[in-house]
Chains A and B, each alone.
Chain A
Amino acid sequence: MSVVHSPNITAPAPAILLQQVCRHYRMGETLIRAVDGVTLAVQAGEFVALLGSSGSGKSSLLNLIAGLDRPTSGAVIVQQRNLAELSREDLAKYRLHTVGMVFQSFNLIASMTLAENVELPLRFAEVDRGKRDSLAREALERVGLQGRMKHRPSELSGGEQQRAALARALINRPKFLLADEPTGNLDSQTGTEILNMVRDFNQHLGMTVVMVTHERALAERYAQHLIFLADGKLVGDESNSSDPAAKGAAPAGTNGVLP
């Protein structure tokens, strides 16, 4: 395990710390630098937005934090553990217990009912069947889908599917919620509903949220900490200037997509 160097000596150790993280891969002859020397820190309990245009490397960065991918170089340190040094087995356990993920395309398994989808992580965690049922019910109630337990994903609206995905992400009570364009496939009203739920998890379950988005307006409305990426490089790391506590406020930034 790596020694953690906090960029800010006075602050407590950050929950997520990226140090000179690079993720390069080869596509034919060309070397693609999806993530290129990013260093940043996320404090426990923060709601962070990773902003950037398509191909800026924000999703690649999220995959590194999620333990789905390994950096070419650098360290990804979550809760004082360097993910780059974990075995495949330990990385799977990390994904199972420490982080929960939601995606733009929901990624529910089509052949399973909502209840089965939501309890799937519990099967991997080898939780007993009886306990699984009650936990899945509880999680679906939290996102307002208690009446849809026996439905298949294809029978639901996009918003309902994303709510089910949120229920699945929090079923193992992870410390981190990682969201990759969670509202990308939803209309703005449904998107707002989803993000209100994410904020609820952040504020009431104490989950640290890292959300990838290309919509600055949304980011400014919900996140306390904005990180800007372009061409795999960090181009901005700032606290949200508009007051994140003013929940009902109109979007502060209207310039939309960043360079």
Chain B
Amino acid sequence: MKLPDLTELAFRNLRESVLRNSLTTIGISVGVASLVAMLSLGIGLQQLASRRLMKSGLFDTVVVTSRRDLRNFNREEERSGPAPGESRILDEPTRVEIEHLPNVVEAYPDIRFITELRYEDKPHLTTIAALPESAKTNDAFEAVQGSFFSSDTAPEAILQKTFAEELLGRTPKSGLDETDVKQLAAPLLGKELTMRYAQREAQGALSPKASNAPSDGLSGGAYSVISREQKLKIVGVADLDPESMRGPTRARVFLPLKLAESLHVMQPTDLREISRTASDQPVYSSVSVRVKNPGRIQAVEDAIKKMGFNTFSILDASRSIQQFFKVLDVFLGIFGSLALAVAFIGIVNTLVMAILERRREIGIMKAIGASDGDVKKLFFAEAGAMGILGGVVGVALGWAIGQVINLGTNIYLKRQSFPPEHFWAVPWWLVLFAILFSFLVSLAAGLYPASRAARLDPVQALRYE
């Protein structure tokens, strides 16, 4: 029999005992709904987690350091490859070269120095770091009190909350919540800081920009160090825990990257590079490379290693997190499938009942020329139709259940004054997968009834009324 005929007859037969078939189909829907609900919870949680990790800037960042650096702050780095002496210098052309590697979004130097900041004429010594503009979307700076830098060259600063406390002369206490950061920010925003720093300048090329501090040149063969001052406006206070952050965010005061670069602040590496560079060209202690997505990290790391640098990323940590979610998905899927297994038995039951009820009809069809295959296909088509119907209804139901639970949870989160979360995701492939799965499960359930119907002896079937 042809497929359109088969479908038509199957739907006709389903309509004939509409109550029983509807109940069976609802059974399938509930099964599919529970499967969809479980899996979308798993997928949603995974997306939530990776969104968070992505925002933290940890999982899409590779930190590049020169192999010449034997000691690079207090990080334990893997040391392999060529000996430090043969390695390349991490300077501006190299940074550009890295930035042009495939899958690299940006590569920016980690500028970090310790210097003195004056606030209301009191000096404070602290670590200052430069932030690229992309840090704006970083989770850590999303909740900044005040605002992010108005531009990449603006003379502005964002303070880490413990430094803000220090400026205000408060004793730091642990477990600050948002309102406290707000209180800290209120008196500081818009105020001015004066940063004193040492500028490195190539010899004979003294900046025409008048310095408001005496230039006591420290003669170092190739360049001089000039003491300078820079006024900074406080635009934000960030609720960051400096100990938990890595790389560029491990500081207490942040400046826009382009501004920091233009200052040519003397950096610890400069002394070590004295013999190598005699120019104004900056040399970086490390460069942070942002990668398009965490999946590309390995490739980018390999490419940079080939260039002769050390790299570091938290790829392995993200791998084990992904593995955890895979296992979680499997478990949720198994629990979701249990309901579908019950629906499976429901289909078998319905179709076996249908055979008993339609014995005579099967006998008639065989008597007028239906083959075993025709009868089998007809029952398969009925099972499949129930499966597709149940699958479609089930996906809708599962989606609705997810929406309701998500809504309920967000109401709860709001009451607990947490921001709402979207931890429920029904991707299109899950919709297709669920309907296909429901269809296949239904066909499998139809296997036994269909072959039983096909084997029915027409003489027996026609004998009794």
Interface residues of A, Cβ cutoff 8 Å to B: 63, 66, 68-69, 88-89, 92-93, 95-97, 100-101, 103, 105, 107-109, 111-112, 120-121, 123-126, 129, 168-169, 172
Contact = CB atoms under 8 A, between A and B. Distances in A.
Interface size class of B (residues with CB under 8 A): 20 to 34
A68 to B, nearest CB: 5
Nearest to B4: A129
A124 B377 CA distance: 11
A108 to B, nearest CB: 8
A111 B369 contact: no
B2 interface: yes
Contacts of B12: 111-112
Given A68-B458, A69-B459, A103-B462, A111 B370 contact: no
B16 A92 contact: no
B86 interface: no
Given A68-B367, A68-B462, A124-B369, 7 more contacts: A66-B367, A93-B371, A95-B366, A97-B369, A105-B465, A107-B363, A123-B5
* 7 residue pairs, one from A and one from B, having the closest CB atoms: A96-B369, A92-B371, A95-B369, A123-B5, A107-B364, A121-B368, A68-B458
Interface in B367-399: 367-374
A121 B459 contact: no
10 contacts: A89-B371, A93-B369, A95-B366, A96-B368, A96-B371, A105-B465, A107-B462, A123-B1, A124-B1, A124-B368
Interface in B1-26: 1-2, 4-5, 9, 12-13, 16
Nearest to A97: B369
A168 B371 contact: no
B178 interface: no
Given A109-B361, A123-B1, A124-B374, A172 B369 contact: yes
B365 interface: yes
Nearest to B15: A111
Contact of A88 (B16, B367, B371): B371
Contact of A89 (B9, B373, B462): B373
A66 B364 CA distance: 13
Contact of A68 (B1, B5, B374, B459): B459
A101 B368 contact: yes
A101 B361 contact: no
Contacts of A172: 369
A63 B457 CA distance: 12
Interface in B336-375: 360-361, 363-374
B16 to A, nearest CB: 5
B392 to A, nearest CB: 25
Given A89-B373, A109-B361, A120 B368 contact: yes
Contact of B372 (A88, A168, A169): A88
Interface of B: 1-2, 4-5, 9, 12-13, 16, 360-361, 363-374, 457-459, 462, 465
B368 A63 contact: no
Contacts of B374: 92, 124
Contacts of A111: 12-13, 16
A26 to B, nearest CB: 14
A208 B9 CA distance: 32
A121 B372 CA distance: 14
A125 B370 CA distance: 9
Given A68-B366, A107-B367, A126-B1, A92 B465 contact: no
A68 B13 CA distance: 24
A169 B364 CA distance: 12
Contacts of A120: 365, 368
Contacts of B9: 123
A92 B1 contact: no
Nearest to A111: B16
Contact of B367 (A95, A97, A112, A123): A95
Count chain A CB atoms within 10 A of each CB in B16, B361, B368 and give the residue with the most.
Answer: B368
B231 to A, nearest CB: 86
A108 B365 CA distance: 10
B372 A89 contact: yes
Contacts of B2: 123, 126
A103 B457 CA distance: 17
A124 B370 contact: yes
A89 B462 CA distance: 20
A252 B458 CA distance: 36
A126 B373 CA distance: 13
Contacts of B361: 109
Nearest to A116: B12
B5 to A, nearest CB: 5
Nearest to A23: B459
Count chain A CB atoms within 10 A of each CB in B1, B9, B371, B465 and give the residue with the most.
Answer: B371
Contacts of A112: 12
Nearest to B370: A124
A112 B365 CA distance: 12
Contacts of B459: 63, 68-69
Count chain A CB atoms within 10 A of each CB in B13, B369, B371 and give the residue with the most.
Answer: B369
B19 to A, nearest CB: 15
A109 B364 contact: yes
A235 to B, nearest CB: 23
B290 to A, nearest CB: 61
Nearest to B363: A107
Contacts of A92: 366, 369-372, 374
Contacts of B458: 68
Nearest to A88: B372
B363 to A, nearest CB: 8
Contacts of A96: 368-371
Count chain A CB atoms within 10 A of each CB in B4, B12, B366, B457 and give the residue with the most.
Answer: B366
Nearest to A112: B12
A120 B369 CA distance: 9
Nearest to A60: B459
A168 B465 contact: no
A193 to B, nearest CB: 22
Contacts of B1: 123-124, 126
Count chain B CB atoms within 10 A of each CB in A123, A126, A168 and give the residue with the most.
Answer: A123
A125 B374 CA distance: 10
A238 to B, nearest CB: 28
B20 to A, nearest CB: 14
Contacts of B465: 105
A69 B458 CA distance: 8
Count chain B CB atoms within 10 A of each CB in A68, A93, A100, A126 and give the residue with the most.
Answer: A68
B357 to A, nearest CB: 11
